[in-house]
Amino acid sequence: MAVENEYLDDEQVIALYNRLRADRRAWPAGIWSSPAALQYAVTVFDYWVHNVMGWKSWVEARGKVTPALLEEHRLADVVENVFVPEFGDDWLDFEVVLNESMRLSDDTDWGVDLSDRQERVEAAFEHAFEQLIGSPKSPDQLSRYHRFRNHLLRMWGAFQEAQAEHDKAEREAADRFWEGLRLVRATRGRTAEGWSIVNHDEERLGEVTMLWGDPHPYCLLILDKQVAQGGWEQVIWRLEQEILVEEPGTVTFSVWHDGFIGEFYRCADCGELHSQFDDDPAGGLGLGGEVDDEEDER
């Protein structure tokens, strides 16, 4: 798998990291060449600090991170290939200030006069730097403050580039899936609607039933095994774009694709599909190259 040419959402990156950590494997070749590499690195480290190590914050982690610990938890490559090239040897101090900034900017009671997301983070960053490192105006901290602030601006640019890659990947995947297919309404009633997915020969390859129930709509997707694996996500995306545009609240999607896949909902915070049962949504994610060869040998 050419990871540099694919976009992995936060859940997929975390699931990939957990598999590598459990099986003592190396990261897939090319993952740190991706435009989203910095976003992957920040996501993995934040997950590691809070969920793996159980530390309350990056401030607590600051004095506990050692090279041996990073190597043990498969994070040395992340530091060597992403954080050090981006932020230099003081990458950990920068990450501590950055995460405290993000926490503060997410607090609705802080900076109530600031509404723009980037403006809030930048203001919180200055506050966090002063609290954790020292006054940005002091002669001994001035150059470090400007260096850290440049890191922050570069990070915003990298995240925007990653989002552009995400949007591009979604569009390309949708175009590939729906080429030769279309969604047509089959039935319509007061409490339910039905659609069929058909090809050029009018052969039905899937059925969609939407129940307008309480407390929120419930959607049943049944796809033929001829449909490409993972195509159910494209069906949900099309439904959200064309059918559910004005529907408020959460929609539960029950997915059957040559067997029961699971029940999912769209997360309001990250915009990705999450399992209702907290299953690993990336359990079938191919690692490619050397890792796949190891699987074959087993």
What the block records as the tokens of 110 is 């802080």
Yes or no: say if 273 and 265 are a contact pair by the CB < 8 Å rule: yes
**pLDDT greater than 50 at residue 292:** no
Q: How far apart are CA 280 and CA 76, in angstroms?
A: 25
Section 192-209 average pLDDT: 91
**pLDDT greater than 50 at residue 198:** yes
Q: How confident is the model at residue 191 (pLDDT cuts 50, 70, 90)?
A: confident
What the block records as the tokens of 35 is 């435009």
Residue 26: its pLDDT value, please? 86
Residue 278: its pLDDT value, please? 57
Q: 212-246: per-residue pLDDT in tens?
A: 877 788 899 999 988 887 788 888 888 887 777 65
For the chain, give the percent of residues with pLDDT over 70: 89
Q: How far apart are CA 194 and CA 209, in angstroms?
A: 4
| Mean predicted lDDT score pLDDT of the chain | 82
Q: Domains in the chain and their CATH numbers?
A: 3-175 (no CATH), 180-266 (3.40.630)
Q: How confident is the model at residue 267 (pLDDT cuts 50, 70, 90)?
A: confident
Section 85-100 average pLDDT: 89
Q: Which of 12, 3, 75 is nearest to 41 (CA)?
A: 75
Q: How confident is the model at residue 285 (pLDDT cuts 50, 70, 90)?
A: very low
**pLDDT greater than 80 at residue 282:** no
Q: How confident is the model at residue 73 (pLDDT cuts 50, 70, 90)?
A: very high
Section 192-197 average pLDDT: 91
Q: How far apart are CA 66 and CA 298, in angstroms?
A: 33
**pLDDT greater than 70 at residue 92:** yes
Q: How confident is the model at residue 279 (pLDDT cuts 50, 70, 90)?
A: very low
